[in-house]
Homo-oligomer: A and B are copies of this chain.
Amino acid sequence: MSDLTIGDVARESGIKINTIRFYEDRGLLPAPPRSAGNRRLYDPAAVARLRFIRHARELGFGLPAIADLLRLAGHPEAPCAAADAIARQQLAEVEARIRSLSALRAELQRMADCGAGSTADCHVLESLGDHSLCAGPHES
C-alpha cells in the first residue's frame, strides 16, 4: 500500500538515494523496516521529513542544526527559543554574505563595463582585499 521504496522517496523528496542512506547513517532519518529482500520500506512521512531536511540544507543549515530542528519538531511542547536562535544565527550570516556580494557585484559590474580600456583601473583586488567592505563574519 503506502510503502515506498528508496527510489520513490528519492524522486518525491528530490534527494538522491545515496544521500538518503547517508542521512539514515547520520541519524537524521530513522532506519526504516526492510522487505523480505532487504529493501528499505518507507512510510510517506519519510518524504515529508526528507523535504524538511532538503529545504533546511538549501537554507544553509548544517546537519547538526537540522537534527536539532527535527528534535524540536518532535516535541511541540518545547519552547520555540532554540529553533528561533538557530534561524536568527543563519539570518545574520546570510545578511553578511549579501552585503559582501553586493560590494563585489559593484566592482565586477565596473569591470564588465570597462569597454575598450584595460583592466588597470579595476578594483576587484582592492575590493576583496579590504576588510572594511565586509561585515567580517569569521567562520560559521
Q: Do A129 and B52 touch across chains, with their CB atoms under 8 A apart? A: yes
**If A52-B129, A128-B55 touch, does A105 touch B114 (CB 8 Å cutoff)?**
no
Residue A34 is within 8 A (CB to CB) of chain B in the complex: no
The residues of B that contact A14 with a CB separation of less than 8 Å are: 138
Main SS of chain A's interface residues?
Answer: helix
Residue among B77, B91, B118 making CB contact with A112, cutoff 8 Å: B91
Most B CB atoms within 10 A — which of A74, A75, A108? A108
Interface membership of A107, Cβ < 8 A: yes
Asked if A20 CB lies within 8 Å of chain B CBs, one says: no
Given A55-B128, A104-B59, A105-B95, A114–B70 Cβ distance below 8 Å? no
In the docked arrangement, what's the CA distance between A119 and B105, Å? 34
A136: which B residues are within 8 A, CB to CB? 76
User: Is A88 an interface residue, CB under 8 A from the partner?
Assistant: yes
Do A124 and B51 touch across chains, with their CB atoms under 8 A apart? no
Find chain B residues with CB under 8 A from A69 CB: 124-125, 128
